A = this chain, B = another copy of it.
Amino acid sequence: MGSPALRLQLLVAIVAGLVLPGPGAAQQADESSVPTTSVPGAMSPRIHADGRVTFTLRAPEARSLQLEGGDGLGKGPFPMTKDADGTWNVTIAPPVPGFHYYWFVLYGVQVNDPASETFFGYGRETSGIEIPEPGASYYALTAVPHGAVREHWYFSKTTGEWRRARIYTPPGYDKDKTRRYPVLILQHGSGEDETGWTRQGRAQWILDNLVASGRARPMIVVMDRGYARRPGMPAFALGPATTNGELAAAYGAFEDVVIHDLIPAIDAAYRTIPDREHRALAGLSMGGMQALRIGLHHLDEFAWIATLSGPFMRHADPAAQVMTSMLGPFDTKTAYDGAFADPTKLNARLKLLWIGVGTAEPDLFHQSIGDAVELLRHSGVRLTWFESQGTAHEWQTWRRDLDDLAPRLFQ
């Protein structure tokens, strides 16, 4: 049976989780608390009563350690200091409320915090911290009827592979077995995946709360991974010389997935109302660019389009460089294959064009999207414009966006 030490080691291995303190321990005597993004039982990071946050990592052998993170955390790097027992820590100024990615840097290597759950961002699994926003309950898990979030695998003829989407079905979906629902396709940003809107964004609780208060119509929300490659398609490297045509080809595979694989799969598996009047396409950042491109290209499929911090492509010329196309002059006659050329016709066909941005976002987003809005309005395109006050190119902007957008859909 092995030595007593080995026996104990094995025994501890199979019941060890019991030593973990539960979430009840999160609230400490010093009135600091552990964020909801920490793993159950974790004692760090600690959000202090004054809003400052202390991050901790045990690394006795290290000679230097830094903290880095997203915009709302202050980015860093924040140098950390080592205690006598080998635990490093740093306390930072109160971060902006909302969800922020973060990580430690150890000899140049990005290290996740073992105390944190992981969230897919920057093309990898990354630590994250949720900073509460005082008074904001619209994205909280509350005692209202809840929808369900499912993993849905479907086979894509476009890519020749199985793909994994997340599907939110609204409260009551399982009970009322004949009712059919409109569909919002809701896409993540660059480097994220189909889990972003429910894990970082809390879209399911925003929708649950909106439906409970009667502000939004119950809807099915479809979240897919916004990347696709046709079999044999070469890797695409974005650079200063990349053209609109190259970008369109790279985005084109995902466009085909949405139109030819995803929508049919969802309409077959769920009780949707399968027509354009009951189908919306929205996305954040890169997902907003995709929503504009795919939505305006397929007005027979979508009557509702929304871009959340997703810049406009201003040039139709496939040979024009992408960067110039995003920042250069905006020609409403030619952009998006002329989708905006006849505002009266577009206004009659499109039930909603929703455009949002955070006021603290960089100019590429805030100013360029604002400029596009002005030009479109001037040309007579009807649109809804939403500015999230004081929030950056981060999830708090997009949570607010969804809270504004969803009540306007399918009404």
Contacts and interface: CB of A to CB of B under 8 A. Distances in A.
Contact of A123 (B39, B60, B109, B323): B39
Contacts of A214: none
A22 B123 contact: no
Contacts of A251: 18
A325 to B, nearest CB: 10
Nearest to A58: B109
A149 interface: yes
B111 A10 contact: no
Contact of A238 (B19, B107, B240, B286): B19
Given A62-B109, A228-B22, A152 B162 contact: no
A99 to B, nearest CB: 16
A19 B236 contact: yes
Contact of A2 (B40, B60, B362): B362
B148 A151 contact: yes
A326 to B, nearest CB: 7
Interface string A325-366: 011000000000000000000000000000000000011110
Contact of A227 (B18, B177, B229, B363): B18
B235 A25 contact: yes
B123 A41 contact: yes
B226 A17 contact: yes
Contact of A233 (B11, B22, B118): B22
Interface residues of A, number: 102
A270 interface: yes
Given A11-B323, A327-B1, A108 B61 contact: yes
A134 interface: no
Interface stretch (A153-161, A295-303, A372-380, A381-389): A153-161
A205 to B, nearest CB: 9
A307 to B, nearest CB: 12
Contacts of A237: 19
A168 to B, nearest CB: 10
A49 interface: no
A4 B108 CA distance: 27
Nearest to A126: B114
Contact of A11 (B124, B310, B322): B322
9 contacts: A12-B238, A14-B285, A19-B237, A59-B107, A110-B114, A112-B118, A117-B125, A141-B162, A177-B177
